Structure 1
Amino acid sequence: MMIPSLLDLDTEQRAAIDLPFHGNHVITGAAGSGKTMMAVYRAWALSTTGRDVSLFTHSNPLHQYLAQFAPDLTEAIKVTTYHRWVRCFWSRHFETDPPSTDEEGFIYDWTEMQRNCIMRGFKSSAHLVIDEGQKLPVAFYQWCRIVGVGVTVCADENQRIGENQSTLSEICRALAVGAAPLVLSENHRNTREIATLASAFRTDARDEVSSPRRVGRTPTILKVPSLNHLLSGVTQYFGAHPNRSIGIICRSTQVLRGIQSALTERKLAKHTQAYASGDRYRDTIDFSTRPIRLVSTANVKGLEFDSVFVPDLDAYTEDPTSVEARLRFLMLCTRAREDLYFAYRGSREPAIVSSIPESLLVRHDA
């Protein structure tokens, strides 16, 4: 992820930072519009007023990235995740785990939590800045309003909204936000060619996303005889572009580990690192070194790379017309700044890309 200076921000992004420091606010925008970085800058701006500010990130890799590359912006704030914050907050103020409705303790009983706070007359002066705010439940935002927690939410509604997630309108109602969400409309990440391909997977034709000015190569889909054949190409690509960050985004942790082993055999171990949830050997990424990074689709949200390889396109066998499948590919496409490659094995091109015209996606038999 590129971290712009304050002088590099456009008018929309400056407006996001300059929102009033009181009350609740909602910011929206498509992938590449800078929502995550505006969340960081917004949290930093609030912290300069002496507020107790916490910044929610969606994933641990993104948490690690911000800690490494934005220390001047994050040193005065707490960079955390939703579950960590809720559990720490409740333990600190109520000396117990938060009430929950599941055995694991991660589906919180917000009705009971509201009742506890109201009975004790509890109020909080905390302020939260939340990235990927659509991922959190409506009841959480209602609780924040009741106990006085100030909230700035950055959200992208062009995402799958599940049972425990929230639409923009639900967030605004829960937080009693009177104004319409502030919209970031410029795509600052992708080339025009990548953004055009990504638009083919959008689920709402009403989305208005400005076409990037920067142009580049048309994304490519490769039919490969084996995974090792593809990794030979990745090795050559790395040799030609040693300073580019390369993201290899895998559908499963098993494939991720197999690719890491194969790259190690190719003498690329010192240039490669992987992140896998729950794997103590792959739980940290140093974003200042090792330009080849392997992550799963579950952990890549919010990250970006100069070049992206999706090595296991044949693993995406779900209904290509489903909202979930289309949004997953929208997310995959928009991780790449410069180059984007999909690869599959087998005789038949995966259905999710079979209808994409040649003008948007170049096809090669490797």
Structure 2
Amino acid sequence: MLALTGTPVVLLTYSNLLRQSLAGAVHALGTRGPLGPRHDRPPLARRVVRSHAARQRRRLVRLGSPLRPVAADPTSATGPTLVVDEGQDLPPEFYLLARMPGARTSVFADECQRLTDTNSTLDEIARNLGRCTRRDLAGNHRNTEQIAAFAAHFHTGAGTPALPGRQGPPPRLHRFHERGAADLLILLAETRPEKSIGVIAASTHTQFSLLGSIHNRAPRLKPQLYTSQSKGGTYRKLDLGRPGIVIGHRRSAKGLAFDTVVVPDTHEDAATDPTSAALRMSSYVMATRARRELHLGYEGDAEPPLPAQVNRRVLQRGEDERLRDVRPAMVN
């Protein structure tokens, strides 16, 4: 809406994958304005200042360096409009810098979903932005009641989030044998061909292992994989508008949404203190990526400590009966 009025707008996102996810929606609204990730380009704060350096003769300032006075041109026009998504994962210093070019800034942030060490609380964001208005946005418009009830076990904020009214199947925990995660993904993709299926893995090794298994056994599914470690377009630019399997990493899960989410390797967290705020926030973020179905998996004899705490009414165990019914046909 701002861009269509002729206002210079920059929308800043947490990651390149989130930028790709939002790009289609932004362009469908009738604008092709700047849409940039936090990563994959020069550091965000330096870009914000640089964008107005030529016109307003501002000095460049880097995050992490001592803040210095910035000389502004008093005859310059009003600064840009910044819209920041997932603002809790930017450091407090960024919001001091956002004031320097005279930017009008809107920040969307949830401090219960912090995933980095360089993060900000809501109070820090408001204090560093200066005089601003804070509004609470309540309600869950993505998940079903069953998924939200499961995610609430890992919520770190005050109080319990209100549950949505939309209904769906309960989340399910699977004990995987060798290649069991690939079995589940192939089954989900074959039985739900019109749905998006997001895989949130703990390691790049798991990502490529799943990709290889699916390519070898069901190449017709054409799974996609994203990794920020890729140097070229392969595994970096995805078509998120089509249904099917997208294999991502936990670091890239922020802000995304899929019809079905599979977290295949919760056993990777077995050695982490289940009361850790970082682990609980990570689990909350991953669970709430799912619009309708959520599947968790582990390898080994014992359930990982974190999901083991969730009762069977909220987190069911074993294979979904609907999937079991179609397995003989899938084997053929």
Name the structure 2 match of 1:3. none
Superimposed CA distance per residue, residues 93-136 of structure 1 (whole angstroms, 9 cap, x where no aligned partner): 54799444xxxxxx442603xx1x23766966111000011111
**Structure 2 letter corresponding to 1:252:** S
Where do 5+ consecutive residues of structure 1 fail to align?
A: 1-44, 101-106
* Structure 2 residue matching 1:55: 3-state secondary structure: strand
Which of 95, 98, 101 is matched with 1:147 structurally?
Answer: 101
**Structure 2 letter corresponding to 1:237:** L
* Structure 2 residue matching 1:189: 3-state secondary structure: coil
2-structure distance, mates of 1:174, 1:244: 42
CA shift for structure 1 position 300:
1.1
**Structure 2 letter corresponding to 1:244:** K
2-structure distance, mates of 1:119, 1:234: 55
CA shift for structure 1 position 283:
0.6
Q: Is it true that 1:321 corresponds to 2:293 in the alignment?
A: no
Q: Is it true that 1:355 corresponds to 2:316 in the alignment?
A: no
Q: Is it true that 1:264 corresponds to 2:215 in the alignment?
A: yes
**Structure 2 letter corresponding to 1:154:** F
Residues 267, 225 of structure 1: alpha-carbon distance in 2 compared, 3 angstrom cutoff: closer
Residues 268, 212 of structure 1: alpha-carbon distance in 2 compared, 3 angstrom cutoff: farther
Point out the more displaced range, 169-178 or 90-99. Answer: 90-99
Which of 61, 64, 71 is matched with 2:27 structurally?
Answer: 71
2-structure distance, mates of 1:53, 1:70: 12
The equivalences for 1:1-366 within 5 A come to: 45-73=1-29, 75-82=31-38, 84=41, 85-94=44-53, 98-100=60-62, 107-109=63-65, 111-112=67-68, 115=69, 117-118=70-71, 125-160=79-114, 164-179=118-133, 181-207=134-160, 209-226=161-178, 228-268=179-219, 270-279=221-230, 280=232, 281-317=234-270, 318-364=272-318
What is the identity percentage for the equivalent residue pairs of Structure 1 and Structure 2?
Answer: 31
2-structure distance, mates of 1:205, 1:173: 21
1-structure distance, mates of 2:294, 2:117: 32
2-structure distance, mates of 1:305, 1:163: 26
**Structure 2 letter corresponding to 1:61:** L
1-structure distance, mates of 2:91, 2:189: 41
CA shift for structure 1 position 46:
1.9
**Structure 2 letter corresponding to 1:303:** L
CA RMSD of aligned residues (A): 2.4
Point out the more displaced range, 209-218 or 191-200. Answer: 209-218
1-structure distance, mates of 2:195, 2:318: 23
**Structure 1 letter corresponding to 2:283:** F
2-structure distance, mates of 1:234, 1:92: 44
Point out the more displaced range, 328-337 or 229-238. Answer: 229-238
CA shift for structure 1 position 52:
0.9
Name the TM-score, length of structure 1 as normaliser.
0.78
Where do 5+ consecutive residues of structure 2 fail to align?
A: 321-332
- Give the number of aligned pairs: 310
1-structure distance, mates of 2:23, 2:251: 20
> Residue 272 of structure 1 contacts residue 291 of structure 1 at CA under 8 Å; is this kept in 2?
yes
Name the structure 2 match of 1:21. none
> Residue 122 of structure 1 contacts residue 147 of structure 1 at CA under 8 Å; is this kept in 2?
no
CA shift for structure 1 position 161:
7.4
2-structure distance, mates of 1:119, 1:69: 35
Residues 166, 89 of structure 1: alpha-carbon distance in 2 compared, 3 angstrom cutoff: closer
* Structure 1 residue matching 2:181: 3-state secondary structure: helix
Residues 129, 119 of structure 1: alpha-carbon distance in 2 compared, 3 angstrom cutoff: closer
1-structure distance, mates of 2:9, 2:156: 34
2-structure distance, mates of 1:242, 1:178: 46
CA shift for structure 1 position 220:
0.5
* Structure 1 residue matching 2:241: 3-state secondary structure: coil
Residues 364, 162 of structure 1: alpha-carbon distance in 2 compared, 3 angstrom cutoff: closer
> Residue 140 of structure 2 contacts residue 164 of structure 2 at CA under 8 Å; is this kept in 1?
yes
2-structure distance, mates of 1:134, 1:339: 27
* Structure 2 residue matching 1:48: 3-state secondary structure: helix
**Structure 2 letter corresponding to 1:336:** A
2-structure distance, mates of 1:193, 1:88: 41
**Structure 2 letter corresponding to 1:239:** E
* Structure 2 residue matching 1:118: 3-state secondary structure: coil
* Structure 2 residue matching 1:278: 3-state secondary structure: coil
CA shift for structure 1 position 289:
2.4
Point out the more displaced range, 267-276 or 55-64. Answer: 267-276
Superimposed CA distance per residue, residues 174-211 of structure 1 (whole angstroms, 9 cap, x where no aligned partner): 122343x212211111110000000010112425x221
CA shift for structure 1 position 140:
1.8
